[in-house]
Structure 1
Amino acid sequence: MSAMLEIENLSVHLDGPDGRRLVDDVSFDLADGQRLGVIGESGSGKSLTALAVLGLLGHPLSASGSIRLSLGDGDTVDTVSAPGRRLDGVRGRTVGAVFQEPLASLDPLMRIGAQLAWPLRRHRGFRADALRRAVLDALAEVQLPEPERIARSLIHEVSGGQRQRVAIALALAAEPRLLIADEPTTALDVTVQAGVLELLQAAVENRGMSLVFISHDLPVVAGIADRVVVMRGGRVVEIGDTRRILTAPREEYTRTLVGASRALDDLLPARPAGSDGPTSGGTE
């Protein structure tokens, strides 16, 4: 199976005389169509690694090593060394992203329909009536009610769960080959989490995309990922198939994470009969 993403010896460090490394010599890959979970405590380097993949590290951060993204037909781009203009054509079309807080990642002054229209126009060439239909179709695909009303709304005029669905619609609009979801349900009410997770899973499966799912919540990752990368202190601690990581972790830190997750599950009330998703995830 061909690689969608190959990260080799990635380091992210602070510029200046200190030059402290926040991500240190990280390497892992992602096969085409595979779903990879990246877990670890806050400050482990998960989000910085995602920003490096997207080429979105800004001053005072810089990266070294290589991050090769497959563009299809054997062509690749290294997001560490590629110029910004080159990456403008890669973000959205090759790799899309959903972040933890849509209020921070979406434009508060632009109507939702206008924000969705931009990638649909730029990357897929929709115009006029076809563009308006594509905007409504994108909102309907993420199961938003009343797409016409949502398209006319500003981002603060819809609920938190609806905002995250808008963010997913934006990430999918240009039909990327890879989706990066960085803590996409952490800011949501527990009753909304499961619906968003189901939506992400369905989108990845229906479109045949690769997925990098970043979280500190092991049960959530276990329900969505084929493989898991465990990070701590900016380094990769362990990599393996999800089942093996859950049942036979090799590193002490991974065993601690798995044990803490099981202990939390034991403290939570049992789920109602017929409910789906991880115990600590919630429903919508």
Structure 2
Amino acid sequence: MSALLTLDGLGVRFEGAEPRTLVHDVSFDLGEGERLGIIGESGSGKSLTALAILGLLAHPLRARGRAVLSASGGDVDVVTASQRRLDRVRGSAVGAVFQEPLASLDPLMRIGKQLAWPFAHHRGLRGDALRRAVLDALADVQLPHPERIARAYIHEISGGQRQRVAIALALAAGPRLLIADEPTTALDVTVQAGVLALLQREVEERGMSLIFISHDLPVVAGITDRVLVMRDGRQVELAGTTTLLTAPAADYTRTLVSASRELEAFLPDRGEGARR
């Protein structure tokens, strides 16, 4: 399996008045079509790792180490790449869905116009072809009445619908890797299952690789092949999903697995179809 993404000693450092390292030496390879979960408690460094991979860290945060992404035109080390190169890579090579769709959607722009940009920028679509691509993208994420959604502003649709729009936006340029950072945490529990099922379907049908970030181990276990456990900005354990659930090596991982099993015993089956 060829590596689509390689992290080698990736770290994140805060370089403000009191400098400190927030993420320490994260290393792994992600293969074509592979699904990796990153799990840990709040403040463990999960989201900072994702932002570093995307080249979206803002000053005074700075990445170090290497994060090499296979892209058209050759491999790109996101840590050292120019902003111009990153603009070409984001969307076409890697897309992202965040916890809060407002992070990626403009409240002052109609949804259809926002979704049109990656089709025009990365695929060169214009006119009727561009309009059809926008409507097809909205229909593909199972939004009703795509023409109405395309004309709407984001405050005119529900939270679950916003997240589906965000997914459509992340997929518009046909990325080979999708990073989903807590994509259902802000949604009602009744909406979460539908969005998770949608993500899983899109990844499978498109043959994409996936990095799925969450604090919810049962959800991660249901859609990933391997799991990376993080704590206090450090990589605690990296293992196949089945191995991690049945024979965790680290004490912290054992605690997470035990706590998840105790919680799940009190909850009805959510029908998420674990990949075990």
2-structure distance, mates of 1:72, 1:193 = 34
Residue 168 of structure 2 aligns to a residue whose secondary structure is: helix
SS at 2:41 equivalent: coil
Once the two structures are superposed, the pairs formed by residues 96-115 of structure 1 within 5 Å of their partners are: 96-115=95-114
- Counterparts of 1:254-265 in structure 2 under 5 Å? 254-265=253-264
C-alpha displacement at 1:126, in angstroms?
A: 0.8
Map 1:184-195 to 2 at 5 A: 184-195=183-194
> Could you list the per-position Cα deviations for residues 223-251 of structure 1 after superposition, in whole angstroms to 9, with x for gaps in the alignment?
00000000000010000000000011010
2:234 paired with 1:208: no
Structure 2 Cα separation of the partners of residues 216 and 187 of structure 1: 13
Q: How far did residue 104 of structure 1 move?
A: 2.9
Query: Is 1:276 matched with 2:275?
Result: no
| Structure 2 counterpart of 1:282 | none
Q: State yes or no: 1:93 paired with 2:92.
A: yes
Deviations 1:24-66, CA, capped at 9 Å, x for gaps: 1111110111000000000000000000000000111001100
Match of 2:243 in 1: 244
**1:21-60 equivalences in 2 (<5 Å):** 21-60=21-60
What does the per-residue CA deviation read over 1:138-197, in whole Å, with 9 as the maximum and x for residues that have no partner? Answer: 000000000000000001110011000000000000000100000000001000111111
Q: Which amino acid aligns with 1:202?
A: R
- Aligned equivalent of 1:227: 226
Q: Report the counterpart of residue 155 of structure 2 in structure 1.
A: 156
Percentage identity across paired residues of the two chains? 71
Aligned to 2:2: 2
Between the aligned partners of 1:55 and 1:260, the Cα distance in structure 2 is 34
Q: Which amino acid aligns with 1:260?
A: A
Distance 1:16 1:183 in 2: 27
Shift in Å, 1:72: 4.8
Q: Which amino acid aligns with 2:68?
A: R
Distance 1:2 1:199 in 2: 26
The aligned counterpart of 2:77 is 78
Quote the Cα distance in structure 2 between the aligned partners of 1:72 and 1:130: 24
Which moves more between the two structures, 14-23 or 143-152?
A: 14-23
Unaligned runs of 5+ in 2: none
Report the number of matched residues.
Answer: 274
Please, what is the CA RMSD of the aligned residues? 1.2
Deviation of residue 103 (structure 1)?
Answer: 1.9
- Give the Cα–Cα distance (whole angstroms) in 1 for the partners of residues 66 and 130 of structure 2: 37
Q: CA deviation at 1:16?
A: 3.7
TM-score when normalising by structure 1: 0.94
Q: Secondary structure of the residue that 2:12 maps to in structure 1?
A: strand
Take 1:234 and 1:28, find their aligned partners in 2: how far apart are those partners?
15
Q: Secondary structure at the match of 1:53?
A: helix
**Cα 1:232–1:103 shift into 2, 3 Å:** same
For residues 135 and 178 of structure 1, the distance between their equivalents in structure 2, rounded to whole angstroms, comes to 21
- Distance (Å, rounded) in 1 between the aligned partners of 2:104 and 2:137: 18
Give the structure-2-normalised TM-score: 0.97
Shift of 1:17: 5.3
Deviation at 1:200, TM superposition (A): 0.5
| Greater Cα shift, 209-218 or 10-19 | 10-19
Match runs of 1:53-68 below 5 Å: 53-68=53-68
- Give the AA of the match of 1:226: D
Distance 2:261 2:273 in 1: 11
